[in-house]
Structure 1
Amino acid sequence: MNKSESLLISAINMMKYPAKAHARNVQQHFLNKKVSATADNTAFFIASAVLKQYPYCDQTAPIRQNRYFHYLTGIDQISGAYVLYHVLKDKLTLFLPDVDADDIMWSGLPLSPEDALKEYDVDEVLYAKDVENTLKSLKEKNVNIYTTDIDEYSTKPFSKDVISGDIDFFYALDESRLIKDEFEVELMRHAAIITDNCHLAVMSALPIESNETHLHAEFVYHSIRQGSKFQSYDPICCSGPSCGTLHYVKNDDPMDGKTSVLIDAGAEWKCYASDVTRCFPITGKFSKEHLEIYLAVKDMQTKVMEQIKPGVLWDDLHLLSHKVLIKHFLELGLFQNGTEEEIFDSKVSVWFYPHGLGHVLGMDTHDVGGYPNYEDENPYLRYLRLRRKLQKGMVVTDEPGIYFSPFLIEKITEEQKKYVNMELVEKYMYVGGVRIEDDILVTEDGYENFTKITSDPYEIEKIVQKGLNKGKGGFHVIV
């Protein structure tokens, strides 16, 4: 971590997560959406994640904080807590878990109310034992208390007769989370810095990476070294033909005799995600077919990136990426017997690029507010996770890909087959697939790319070759 990055983190750590501003955002969206709701009769109540034990075991599962709770508190690794926002009073109350004297022996002293007030952007700190009376008092004043996931998180006796779930509350939370404020943006910038370093480390460490598991281990190791103990999602680490599996989960095949690597992995920072995919050649030099497909995907991503700005419909950018793919496939001879328009209308490119262009990114990797339609009859759009116009403050991924998977190719219809040079397709099967993914902030008149690890194929070759050369004289850690 360089000096400017260290100063950035120090500045963030000195500031409070803007929980009150987030609560007000939710209030605005909720009151605009729900006709019967007013400032006088509305409150929001959300429970934190529940600490769960594994079945038939005294070990607890790792805590993954309820993201809606985090949005109104900034609290990560605490379970058994609650937050209440009283709209009329603009009052945010945090309820800490009750103190268990026996647990102090095992886990140490819990966070005190005094320390919580200093650390978090709340007006009042009480304990969980105070929740029931606080909620009943509001209910007696005809205040409607809206919550999320009553059965999952709010299992106390007060849950179903005092508070109620409401789809409009989810809408208000999701619309609020969609647009990131400057504090959230800085968290995501830092998550991207950590992820950049991890991807660089993986590219540079081929002398000690002979199995996909080593790619996984290298990424997570460097993530933890930089202070990120959690991944945004389970890393996808694949090689050779397995690169054609979109969400590959094995991560344990040997890499001997293969030419390509695809790693899709992102570190998390204070509950905010990064999501980056890079591909590189195992030998340090792209093969002819691997480079041709890589350059096609790179062009798809670049053409989309040039169009990113507020007001642009994401559907249109996704369709643009398909048109760029078709253009390259015609030039390579993979598509034939038709014009770009005819082949686009046939939708045959779906079997080489079946997923959506990208998605909203935030506290979740596939963040809320994208409003996908997985029942869409149009195969181009069915798996598109973002179906709306871009707005300033949204963070999205730009991640086109091209894949050579036997499971996809077998779905090519008889009508579509005339456009595909199957004999030539066979020569590309060993590549598996290429995906390039960057994290993008939509700005007032364009975009900012959080992802700085290079995607230039020739620079990637140099990084890999440098690592291979260092390995001959004894490999050393770079991050």
Structure 2
Amino acid sequence: MTATTKYPAKSHARRSAENLKVFAKKRSVDESVANSSLIYAAASKPTLWPHCDQNIPFRQNRYFNYLTGAHDLHEGHVTYDISKDKLTLYLPPLDKEEVMWSGMPLSLEQAQAKYDVDEVKYSSELESDLKAFTGSTNRLILAVDESEEYSVVQQSDLLLEALDETRMIKDEYEISLMKRASEITDNSHLAVMSALPIEKNEGHIHAEFVYHAMRQGSKNQAYDPICCSGVNCGTLHYTKNDLPLEADKQLVLIDAGAEWENYAADVTRVFPINGEWTTEARAIYEAVLDMQTQTMNRVAPGVSWDNLHQLSHEILIKHFLELGIFKNGTPEEILESRISASFYPHGLGHMLGMDTHDTAGLANYDDPDPMFKYLRIRRNLQANMVVTVEPGIYFNKFLLEPVLSNPEQAKYIDEKVLEKYLPVGGIRIEDDVLVTDKGFYDLTKITKDADEIAKIVKAGISKGRDHFHVVV
């Protein structure tokens, strides 16, 4: 990708139209819908907090972004005329009062040069253009969201399906954006591992990550960072991020990803709070790393994600039998009992792209099987998907109580051995992986080797608090 290359919006529009035809055929919808409709999407609008002259943080409509590449454009619109193969971007008209507060917006000429669209107009022309499109015919205007402004616009589930399926396969430009998000994320995770002398509570970890991401140009995070310590690491989407990093805690877990022009990274790393792994924490860490390594090495086009997820459970069971946490059963019997889902309740990973949990995973949250219920991808892998591979093991008393109180499941658990592992809290290792034609490419480069992580943490501790020039 060169500095002059544009985000390939026109290609995205064309591919989406082709998928619209595919889904129309599957749903037995009239061909004219796919061949002669107008695709419409609107940008997100900036919104003020009540009683406060400050905007709610802006988050661009991902479908609008996909059809324009205008990740930072407020109040725009886009249409794609399928039969004419014409992509049109509409900018808000010049508002003198808005210019006074916020400066000059893009001109039509600047937008035409910046974005991969056929024409740029002001949105004052949009309503007449929409009405002219429908005219006296039955041509439809399909939208990804309900429109409060334009009565001729229809929200379309068919269009959403087509766009979601198109977004699933990343092109070279999108992959380059995700590589940049990953690079920023790697550097920020390394900074967190290296700075324990100035990280005295979970909030400091949060601040350290965001600081380094912003220093590299990533003003927004892909999601709110999960920064936890001790037994809090057993909470999957921990949000407090404010408790002290006390000496009796074993581990720190940080799940955080930077965003680059609306494209996300999503990475989790775990490190010992004092640079030394306890015997129990190291054993669980190596089990999770084995789960990740074996499943990631099997990532390739055509591979069933269900099968990879089951494999990760089988590896967990193998390690728990070796550690003595599981007993009294064969690996097959223990897998069938589903007790591993109480230690590893989430899925192996999810789609990644403009959204952290990106489109087209085809999850089935109604699945009665607890091992698959929360699996966010239920399809075979394809080249140019980007997925996370993030197995974990958690010692969460809330999740374990139902199993321990059920004799048919509890018989497989040695509670005395389990007690030794409860202070570990939880461990998750997460990388972002591009499916390639022959296998996979790991976008995430920050180390996950337990010895290297310990060295990084200890090196930071040895430098001491003064090295980081902390103002107290």
Alignment of 1:38-49 (within 5 A): 38=32, 40-49=35-44
The one of 259, 263, 266 aligned to 1:275: 266
Unaligned runs of 5+ in 1: 1-10
Equivalent position of 1:144 in the other structure: 140
Equivalent position of 1:303 in the other structure: 294
CA deviation map 1:408-435 (0-9, x unaligned): 1112122100001111111111110000
Counterpart CA distance in 1 for 2:323 and 2:384 is: 38
Counterpart CA distance in 1 for 2:469 and 2:324 is: 43
- SS class of match (1:474): helix
- SS class of match (2:315): helix
Equivalent position of 1:411 in the other structure: 402
Q: CA shift at 1:87, angstroms? A: 0.8
Equivalent position of 2:4 in the other structure: 14
Residue identity opposite 1:26 in structure 2: S
Q: CA shift at 1:55, angstroms? A: 2.8
Equivalent position of 1:344 in the other structure: 335
- SS class of match (1:344): helix
Counterpart CA distance in 2 for 1:173 and 1:27 is: 8
- SS class of match (2:39): strand
Counterpart CA distance in 1 for 2:355 and 2:3 is: 21
CA deviation map 1:336-373 (0-9, x unaligned): 00110110010000110000000000000000100111
Unaligned runs of 5+ in 2: none
Q: Percent identity over the alignment?
A: 55
TM-score (norm 2): 0.96
Give yes or no for contact 2:198–2:465 (8 Å, CA) kept in 1: no
Equivalent position of 1:452 in the other structure: 445
Q: CA shift at 1:269, angstroms? A: 0.3
Residue identity opposite 1:288 in structure 2: T
Dislocated runs of 4+, deviation >4 Å: none
Counterpart CA distance in 2 for 1:277 and 1:377 is: 28
Counterpart CA distance in 2 for 1:359 and 1:13 is: 31
Equivalent position of 1:4 in the other structure: none
Q: CA shift at 1:12, angstroms? A: 4.6
Moved more, 375-384 or 37-46: 37-46
Counterpart CA distance in 2 for 1:435 and 1:41 is: 48
- SS class of match (1:14): coil
Q: CA shift at 1:57, angstroms? A: 3.2
Residue identity opposite 1:364 in structure 2: D
The one of 33, 36, 50 aligned to 2:23: 33
TM-score (norm 1): 0.94
Q: CA shift at 1:379, angstroms? A: 0.4
Within the alignment, does 1:384 sit opposite 2:375 as a pair? yes
Within the alignment, does 1:103 sit opposite 2:98 as a pair? yes
CA spacing shift, 1:401–1:112, aligned 2, 3 Å: same
Residue identity opposite 2:245 in structure 1: M
Alignment of 1:3-402 (within 5 A): 11-34=1-24, 35-38=29-32, 40-140=35-135, 142=137, 143-150=139-146, 154-156=147-149, 158=150, 160=151, 162-257=152-247, 258-402=249-393
Equivalent position of 2:457 in the other structure: 464
Within the alignment, does 1:431 sit opposite 2:424 as a pair? yes
CA deviation map 1:73-130 (0-9, x unaligned): 0011222110000011111000001221111111000111100000000011111111
Counterpart CA distance in 2 for 1:303 and 1:234 is: 29
Counterpart CA distance in 2 for 1:22 and 1:37 is: 20
Residue identity opposite 1:331 in structure 2: E
